[in-house]
Structure 1
């Protein structure tokens, strides 16, 4: 059974990003950045004082989600579709145009959503016990969308089974790898957004400039999602023994 090599996975992820940058940036711009930016620009986030207890927070967010259910659902669907199309672009078994990858993603989007729902339910069961089991299950099912894309698996349950098999003996390794990237990425994104807020606040005497702040937040968030996507694909290539295919793509 292949053991995950962090350095090879990271180098492979960066190589994937470089090899497919034009295509994935085009898809990410329309299906990840744009809905994120429009949502931030036009949907007012809940205003919190910091003194709310759990009941107050639940009440505030219940109202927020009920009032914005449609835009939340639509933006998440568009972003999910964009993520799937990016996986089609990165898959070693494919060498197609952006239009072809978008059409391929559309054909299996419902299957992808069902698989994500099953993954979410199983992961949630893990979180009922402790945080760690939930995170572990999430790492074991992280390759589900790529199994659908690269192996043409159309049975959501079988996609979960194949992801579980591919990640055997590597669940905690994948978890640690993604956690490291997520923590570093979150700190970097938060720092950039904080600097942007400070600069716009100073430039406008404390009023801020929501357009610029939302623009930077959407750009950094999209970049972070792209890094996670290529990392997950690189993990799949490592564990599935398909690094040779990746080299052929680069050449």
Structure 2
């Protein structure tokens, strides 16, 4: 049986419909697990919003300056690893719970969605580890070998090809989260295979849809954040710091929610209605 073809217009219509129909519960989950952690990070580690920049030195080697910046960022993350770990876990819980909320099997409450989200975390982490290992073997190992033994021109060419391959793998694995959270597939190998199968014949469409969405949503978000940050900076002191943190966290939450709901809409379209929904249709 041939796979369904993704209709990008229909996917966006479903996205807006899902957000409109679940705005209260989406707001609750996004506020608790995406907005608040992001706001806390902005307050306790303000360097996240304004990464350290080394003072320019005339005649300095750019690579040395870049290394200094990386060292500062590494130190920042090392000093605040517990906070970043908590934010990461909160993001996992929020994302998987939000996806579980968007199932077509009834209308789960926030509590039910959180329960399903928590249960799906181990499978999701396992699937991400497996995907990371696969990407390391397929991309990292060849890149390392080529970089060590091939001429620079060949290294550049192979690197470009591997970038294309990396993007392809990202698209093929893009539906793992909804497969686990919505379809409740707990076996990570099965979830990976299911995502691969659902995206078959639709990789280019999904890529184009996500790139278009990224360009539009992220640019608009960056412009809004930039304007509001500029206005708030005029107040100075704690008002500017807190206000900037709120704006950044809000933009991050909105963008994250949109992308998650888009992925859920793409999954819903490619996977089709659940057996429960089909049964309801013919009752």
TM-score, normalising length from structure 2? 0.80
Quick check: 2:97–2:181 contact (8 Å CA) kept in 1?
Answer: no
Return the alpha-carbon distance in structure 2 between the equivalents of residues 186 and 40 of structure 1.
19
Shift of 1:123: 4.4
Number of aligned positions between the proteins: 247
User: Which digits, 9 at most, give the CA deviation of each residue in 1:179-234, with x for residues without a partner?
Assistant: 11112222111111110122123344x99701101101100110000100110011
Residue 207 of structure 2 is matched in structure 1 by 175
Instruction: Select the structure of larger CA radius of gyration.
Output: 2
Return the alpha-carbon distance in structure 2 between the equivalents of residues 47 and 208 of structure 1.
21
Shift of 1:91: 1.3
User: Which digits, 9 at most, give the CA deviation of each residue in 1:61-114, with x for residues without a partner?
Assistant: 221121111111111111111000001100113432111111122222211211
Residue 28 of structure 1 is matched in structure 2 by 30
- The answer to whether the aligner puts 1:59 opposite 2:59 as a matched pair is no
Return the alpha-carbon distance in structure 2 between the equivalents of residues 59 and 118 of structure 1.
29
Residue 152 of structure 1 is matched in structure 2 by 184
Deviation larger for 9-18 or 63-72: 63-72
Residue 164 of structure 2 is matched in structure 1 by 132
Superposed counterparts of 1:14-93, under 5 Å = 14-45=16-47, 46-49=51-54, 51=56, 53-93=65-105
Return the alpha-carbon distance in structure 2 between the equivalents of residues 150 and 30 of structure 1.
20
Residue 195 of structure 1 is matched in structure 2 by 227
Q: Secondary structure at the match of 1:48?
A: coil
Deviation larger for 1-10 or 45-54: 45-54
Quick check: 2:234–2:240 contact (8 Å CA) kept in 1?
Answer: no
Return the alpha-carbon distance in structure 2 between the equivalents of residues 234 and 148 of structure 1.
15
* RMSD, aligned CA: 2.4
In structure 2, relative to structure 1, the CA distance for the partners of 1:231 and 1:55 (3 Å cut) is same
Residue 155 of structure 2 is matched in structure 1 by none
- The answer to whether the aligner puts 1:122 opposite 2:127 as a matched pair is no
Return the alpha-carbon distance in structure 2 between the equivalents of residues 207 and 109 of structure 1.
36
| Unaligned 5+ runs, structure 1 | none
Deviation larger for 119-128 or 92-101: 119-128
Return the alpha-carbon distance in structure 2 between the equivalents of residues 243 and 183 of structure 1.
32
User: Which digits, 9 at most, give the CA deviation of each residue in 1:21-69, with x for residues without a partner?
Assistant: 1111111111111111011111131421475633223212221121111
Return the alpha-carbon distance in structure 2 between the equivalents of residues 229 and 195 of structure 1.
25
Residue 224 of structure 1 is matched in structure 2 by 255
Return the alpha-carbon distance in structure 2 between the equivalents of residues 153 and 200 of structure 1.
45
| Unaligned 5+ runs, structure 2 | 57-61, 144-158
Superposed counterparts of 1:207-218, under 5 Å = 209-218=240-249
- The answer to whether the aligner puts 1:142 opposite 2:147 as a matched pair is no
